[in-house]
């Protein structure tokens, strides 16, 4: 009688341990998945408000929908509005001139020409700013040198 009682006690304990293990694994997987998806911002929405209206921009900062700390966002809104009042804020940025200026690091003519052709949209574009960056790829055919 004693052996049958001990065998009955061991079986539920083993099932209980297995059930707890599965439950803990499921909970850990759920928490990891939740943490991973919470840190990824949607690619189409950065939460930025570029309306130029200080009240609207400040409300966007306070709502927490930006990818920035609320105090840093509010500070940038105040600084941008102060520069706008002083006439120092340049809203018509020349992005092409900025991109071409980055090619000045190349000293050889061929490298500089390749950089400029990538910048001037002759290259294949891949990626997005929200995704971490835009990659520009261009293939250049170079004739083989005779030996």
The verdict on residue 145 lying in a domain is no
Q: Does 68 map to a domain?
A: yes
Determine the structural domain holding residue 70 and report its residue range. Answer: 54-86
Q: Which residue has the higher pLDDT, 7 or 28?
A: 28
Tell me whether residue 49 is in a domain: no
Instruction: Determine, yes or no, domain membership for 11.
Output: yes
| Residue 143, in any domain of the structure | no
The pair phi, psi for residue 125, each rounded to 5°, is: -95, 140
Q: pTM for the complete prediction?
A: 0.36
pLDDT digits (tens, 9 = 90+) for 45-56: 455 566 678 888
Strand partners, 125: 136
β partners of residue 134: 127
The answer on pLDDT for 136 being more than 70 is: yes
Element (H, E) at 128: strand 124-128
Residues 58 and 32 in one domain: no
What's the pLDDT at 107?
86
Domain count of the chain? 3
Question: pLDDT tens digits, residue range 19-30?
Answer: 777 777 777 877
Query: How much is the pLDDT for 119?
Result: 81
Are 81 and 103 found together in one domain?
Answer: no
């Amino acid at each position: 009688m004693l052996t049958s009682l001990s065998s009955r006690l061991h079986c539920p304990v083993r099932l209980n341990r297995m059930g707890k293990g599965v439950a803990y694994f499921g909970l850990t997987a759920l928490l990891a998945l939740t943490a991973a998806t919470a840190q990824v911002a949607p690619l189409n929405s950065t939460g930025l408000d570029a309306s130029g209206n200080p009240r609207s921009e400040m409300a966007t900062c306070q709502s927490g929908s930006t990818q920035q700390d609320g105090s840093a966002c509010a500070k940038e809104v105040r600084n941008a509005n102060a520069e706008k009042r002083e006439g120092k804020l340049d809203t018509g940025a020349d992005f092409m001139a900025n991109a071409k200026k980055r090619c000045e690091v190349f000293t050889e003519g061929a490298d500089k020409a390749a950089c400029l052709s990538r910048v001037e949209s002759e290259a294949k574009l891949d990626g997005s700013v929200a995704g971490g960056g835009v990659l520009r790829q261009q293939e250049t055919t170079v004739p083989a040198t005779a030996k």
